[in-house]
Structure 1
Amino acid sequence: METSLAIPEAQTPEQKTALQEYMALFDWKEIGAQVRRGKEITVTDAGQAELIAEARTLRLGLKRVRTAIENRRKELKEGLNLRSKAIDGMANVLKELIVPAEDHLEEQERFVELQEEKRLAELQAARQEELSKYLPDTSFYDLKAMSEQGFQQLLESSRIAWQARKDAEAKAEADRAEKARADAAEAERIKAENARLQKENEEATRKAEEARKEKEKAEADARALRAEQERKDKEAREAKEKLEREQKDAARRAKMAPDKEKLETYAAALAAVPAPEVKSEEAKAVVADAIKKISLAVTFLKQRATQL
């Protein structure tokens, strides 16, 4: 793998001077050799203890170099505007070269640890998949840290609890279905009973209405009979009273006939009396007044005579 250093090209004399000063601070040949060796190391087995130790040593060495480069970069940049770009460019080149090697060496150094993490992650995933059949949320269990016996006990207790829930749900569903059937049967019975009661009520209402109408008709007929009888009684009573009045009037008239004729004769005599001839106006007024009164007296006598 290519590990040569790509030195950025200086743009100004000041930048060239800064690069030379910066390059002189470190043993770039040694750094390149460490990078090359780091990339050559590949751990394939947990038993490669020496190779793992070498990877650690190289990684820490490169880390110290990178840290020193970064610290020196910061020191050199302070107050140097013209030199900062060259220093940043060189530092970036060095970091791009060292960081991948450093990361690679860390992976080799942590091979056993990473393999264990991978194994534990796979174990966690496998146990989660198995346990999730019976337990929806397994996040609060650190499954990878459990012993196999502990996990099997948890799995079995979860399965038992899950089966108990399923049995309870099945029983609840059966009870619900039975209750629904019983409720439907009861509803049908109530419906039929209500229909029967309604029919009986309608029949009772119909009969009551017929009885009411018959009673009203009978009462109306009785009232009509009473009214007709009362009318006949009244007519008979009035006819009897009229007859009695006519008989009494006839008797009274027969008894009063001479007096009647006398009154009628007297009235005729008064009417026949001639008025005296007078000359004075005063006398004429008296005569006129007398004639009116005589006329009223004649009329009175005739009217009362007819009542005798």
Structure 2
Amino acid sequence: MSELEQEYNEIVILPMGDETSKKARDLRLRFVKTRTATDEIRVKAKAYYLAGGRFVDAWGNAQKFAAIGKEEKLEAIEKHFENIEKERKEKLHTERCELLRDYVSDTSLYNLREMTDEVFTKLLADSKIAFQAIKDAEVTAEKERVEREAEALAEQARIREENKKLQEEAAERDAKVAEAVAAQKKAEADLK
């Protein structure tokens, strides 16, 4: 390649002409031949290493395939009691959520999986008491509202009755006054 480089450097400084064109063509074809020969060597050399890489990958995949199933089985054995405990806690959580559902709006506030039975029993009892206290307060508030409403209606009826009585008394007074005025006018007319 260094010989070709030397010839290249000589040709590029020559003046343009038929002889220079012929030399340029010959040198170019020798460059092409060298490049393609080098490429063939590169491909062959690379093929050897690619085959080696593929072999190593295949060997690694075989080892991996052989180990994965066994690893999973061994992990299942290793974590057998751990998984049983997880299932027990999940079942306990579901049962406790069901028991609290009517009394607590958001059970996620409590770590029901890890809570001892004693603590959960106390939580359930307290939740029932709090729930009943809220219900009792609602019933009491409703009773008080109904009583206030009934008192307001009774007061309105009493006021209407009193207004009616006052209107009757006023009408009676007006009638007596009108009667007295009429009697006085009649008496005055009789005097005349």
Provide TM-score, normalisation by structure 2.
0.57
List runs of 5+ in structure 1 lacking aligned partners: 1-12, 44-50, 53-106, 226-308
For 2:16, the equivalent position in structure 1 comes to none
Q: Please say if 1:178 is aligned against 2:152.
A: no
Instruction: State the Cα distance separating 1:139 from its structure 2 match.
Output: 2.5
Question: Letter of the aligned partner of 2:135 in structure 1?
Answer: K
Cα contact 1:41–1:108 (8 A) shared by 2: no
For residue 92 of structure 2, the aligned residue among 90, 103, 123 is 123
Aligned-pair CA distance for 1:133: 1.6
> For this pair of structures, how many residues does the alignment match?
148
Does 1:200 find its partner at 2:169? yes
Measured after TM superposition, the shift of residue 154 of structure 1 is 0.8
Query: For each residue in 1:44-72, what CA deviation from the matched residue of structure 2 results, as whole angstroms up to 9, or x when unmatched?
Result: xxxxxxx23xxxxxxxxxxxxxxxxxxxx
2:107 alignment partner, SS class? coil
- The structure showing larger relative contact order (alpha-carbon pairs under 8 Å, at least 6 residues apart) is 1
- Residues 137 and 219 of structure 1: CA distance in aligned 2, closer, same or farther (over 3 Å): farther
In the TM superposition, structure 1's runs of 4+ consecutive aligned residues that sit over 6 Å from their partners are: none
Question: How big is the shift at 1:128?
Answer: 1.8
Instruction: Tell me how far apart the structure 2 counterparts of residues 159 and 190 of structure 1 sit (CA, whole Å).
Output: 46
Mapping of residues 36-47 of structure 1, within 5 Å: 36-39=66-69, 43=73
- CA-to-aligned-CA distance 1:185-234 (integer Å, 9 cap, x gap): 3332332222222222222233334444555x469859x95xxxxxxxxx
Structure 1: how far apart are the matches of 2:50 and 2:99? 61
Return the letter of the residue paired with 1:140.
L
Residue 184 of structure 1: how far off its partner (Å): 3.0
Q: Once the two structures are superposed, what CA deviation does each residue of 1:13-50 show, in whole Å capped at 9, x if it has no partner?
A: 79x959546424x352343243244225665xxxxxxx
The structure in which a higher percent of residues are helix is: 2
Deviations 1:134-180 (A, max 9, x none): 12222221121211111111111111222222223233333333343
AA partner of residue 31 (structure 1): N
Unaligned stretches of 5+ residues in structure 2? 1-42
Identity %: 33
